[in-house]
Amino acid sequence: MFDDKIILITGGTGTFGKNFAQRILKNHRPQKIIIFSRDEMKQWDMEEQIHSSKLRFILGDVRDKDRLQRAFNDVDIVVHAAAMKIVPKAEYDPFECVKTNIFGAMNVIDASLNAGVSKVVALSTDKASSPVNVYGASKLVSDKVFIAANSYSGSQNTVFSVVRYGNVMGSRGSVIPLFHKMRHQKSIPITDLDMTRFMITIEQGMELVEKALQTALGGEIFVKKVPSMKIVDIAKAMNPDVDLNVIGIRPGEKIHEQLISIDEAKYTFDFGNYFKIYSPFLLPSEKQILAEGGVPVGEGFSYESNKNNQWMTEGELRSWIGANLKY
C-alpha cells in the first residue's frame, strides 16, 4: 500500500506523526514521506532523530490553503493529524480552534481533491461523540466534512475516511506523562474520582489508520475497541501510596468519554476488534453491501468509557509504563 507512494502527514511532528513516519520507513518502501507542520524547531528535532533520505519537511499551516496545495502536489496518501486539541485552550480561544480544526479540515479536503490524492484519513477523537466542549464540537464538524467530502470527489475518486479513538497512552499533554512526572510527590491532583477514559496505545492507533487506508471505500468512521481505565487507577499505578487531591473537572471536560453515540448506532457495524460507522447518506442496500462481514450493533447501543466490557488493570499499565516511559 505504501510502497513507491508519496505520503503526507499534516501535524507530522506530533506523537502520531513521528511514530507513523518511522513505522512506514521501517516496514515499507515509500517514495517519500512529507511532514507538513508549522513548528520549525519540532521539524528540526524530528530530522535529527530520524535520519532518512525519504523524509521531507514542509513548513506550513493547514489554515493556509495555498501552502497546502503546493505541498500536496503528486501526493498519493494523506493522513490528517494536525489539530488544536488541548481542551482548556480550545475553550479559552475557540476562534483559533475553529480556524485549525474546521477551516483547516476543509482546506485539506480541497487540496486533496485538487491534487488528485488517492486516499485521505483524518484522525478524530472520542470527544467528537456527543461533544460538550469546543474541541469536541470542532472535531465533530471535521468528521462530518470529511465524510461528506466523498460526495465531492467525482472523477478524482479520492476516498475520505476517519479514525476515532480515545486517550493515546504516553502522548504529549495526556494524563500518563503528567502523573509519571509527579510520581514521587506526596499528592497528585485528580479532577474527579469517578472519571474514566479510553486507553489506546500509539501502535493500536497506527494499526487503525492502516486498516482505514487499506479497506475504506469512502465515508466510514473507524473506531477501535480499547480498554477503559479510571483516572484514579492511573494515579495509583504510578504510586500506590500517593494522596489524591480532588480539584474538580476543568472547563469543557466530561466525567466519561464516548466513542459511539446512541444516535450513531443505527449506522454502526461490529467487525470484531473494531467498529465502522457508515455515512447516513448511504441507502440501506449500499450500507449492507459495504458492511459485509460486520454485525449491526442494534438500536440503543453506545460505546462509553464507563460502560466498557474491557478494563485495563493497574498491573497492565505498570508493565506498559516500564516498557515505554523513561524513569
- The catalytic site residues sit at 127
Which spans in 183-257 are helix H?
202-215, 231-238
Phi-psi map region of 125: left, alpha, beta (phi>0 left; psi -120 to 50 alpha) = beta
Decide the pairing of beta strands 268-270 and 274-277.
Answer: antiparallel
DSSP state string for 94-110: HHHHHIIIIIHHHHHHH
Cα–Cα distance between 148 and 282 in angstroms, integer? 11
Q: What's the rounded Cα separation, in Å, for the pair 30 and 43?
A: 20
CA pseudo-torsion sign 298, 299, 300, 302:
positive
Report how far apart, in Å, the C-alpha atoms of 185 and of each of 34, 47, 83, 287 are. Answer: 41, 35, 32, 53
Distance CA 200, CA 294 (A): 22
Length in residues, the chain:
327
- In whole angstroms, what separates CA 1 from the centre of its chain? 21
Q: Give the end-to-end CA distance of the chain in Å, rounded to a whole number.
A: 37
Helix axes 314-324, 231-238, angle to 10 degrees: 60
Which residue do the cell numbers 477501535 mark? 224
With CA atoms as reference, report the closest residue to 307 among 256, 271, 253, 267.
Answer: 256
Cβ burial of 110 (10 Å; 0-12, 13-18, 19+) is: middle
